[in-house]
Structure 1
Amino acid sequence: MLGVMSGYSNPERPDERLSTAERDAAVGHLAEAQSAGRLTAAEFSERSAAARAAVTRADLVPLFADLPESAPAEAQLPPAGAIPGAGFTSGPGAPYGYGDASVPSSGRGGTRALGGAVGATIMALVPIVAFALFMIFGFVGSFTWSWVFFLLVPIAGIVIYGPGSAERRSR
């Protein structure tokens, strides 16, 4: 098993360069630590950026120094010649950044919009309606003030996704 780390805190061959799959695996383990409540969102963001920028296996050591060792299968990186992305799944339960689970879901169609999927659909149609009103009132009247209809887009966004969306997501 040459090329496999025995763990992030004590890698075999620390001067060996990392593969993309190994960097992705490190970010996945950091996501698991965040979901377990061991890292805040800010810490996860900072450490995952450092993991993506890591060049050697030794560069990953400080990112995991204060985290407990996982089960042996979880703590190991894929072999140095592993196929990038192998072993990563999509769908519910996949680490952030992989497949369908890259955005936390609210359980109501995966949107935090007011009104759920209907609110998201309305928000998607608002720019089209604003453009249509701009063209209609521009040709019928004057284009001087018809640009005001484009203000519907941010206003609808504030109403549909504004304050309170975090509370709707946590319900």
Structure 2
Amino acid sequence: MKISEIIVVEGKDDTVAVKRAVEADTIETNGSAISKSTLEQIAHAQQKRGVIVFTDPDYPGQRIRAIIEEHVPAVKHAFLAKEKTIAKNGKGLGIEHAADEDIREALASVYTPLQREREVDITMEDLIDAALVAHPQAKQRRSRLGEMLQIGYTNGKQLQKRLHMFGISKQQFIEAVMALNQEEQQ
């Protein structure tokens, strides 16, 4: 599988994992303290070939995404569930620990944030009704919903924004919540 866009990862081990799974070029941020020159390199890559941000499913990875999104709008995003990035010895989390097939699947399911404003059709009330916020199992349900929709994990405050940012329709949301409810009943 050849990826035409340049993939932004956190470090060298992530680059090795991505190149093991797909044919692609990468830019490494070297952690969450992204330098101005790295942001300029990402902006240039976005203009020339496009960029896919593919960071670890943890706080530093989310922080990197936010910094890049702020400085280089319209980059694409690929996500992997936390469970798919845990080291075999249980001591570590990151893209570098993911299976090649999981990396390929994540890169085949990228999202581009919507740049135009549109009416938010998934309300906070919808999230509450779906037990995704203000519910004892909300964190686990959000985690699973993020996997199902391939938008990554979010906290309660971020979920509505992420659904909107990636253009998840109310119908897609309802179908995912129904599937989530069915899983829990089994």
TM-score, reference length from structure 1:
0.24
Higher relative contact order (CA 8 A, sep 6+): 1
- Structure richer in strand, relative to its length: 2
TM-score, reference length from structure 2:
0.23
